[in-house]
Amino acid sequence: MLLLQVHLPDIDGIEVCRQLRRDPRTLLLPIVMVSEKDDIQDAILGLDAGADDYLRLARYAPSEVIERLRAILAREAKILDQKINIVD
């Protein structure tokens, strides 16, 4: 899982997300974009770029952030387990 800050000094996090989604090696990498700003437009752009979730940290308690990340990892583990069972 990658926690990706939206506002980076050298490149926009949304562009990083787009690049990761275009690369077959990182296509399925779970990406959660985070921002301290409460900007719905950034959230829409991040999700449109391929992020699995977008957390506006000003809105969430740390415990909720942790549970959201756990939920994404649990989903990914189920998908991986299903793929392994298909191969077996």
* Fold assignment, 2-87: Rossmann fold (3.40.50)
- pLDDT for the residue numbered 87: 63
Band the pLDDT of 88: cuts 50, 70, 90.
Answer: low
What tens digit of pLDDT does each residue of 38-60 get?
A: 889 989 999 999 999 999 887 77
When the pLDDT of each residue in the chain is averaged and rounded to a whole number, the result is 88
Give the SS3 label for residue 44: helix
Q: The whole model's pTM is what?
A: 0.80
pLDDT beyond 90 at 2: yes
pLDDT beyond 90 at 31: yes
Radius of gyration for the chain, computed over Cα atoms and rounded to the nearest angstrom: 14
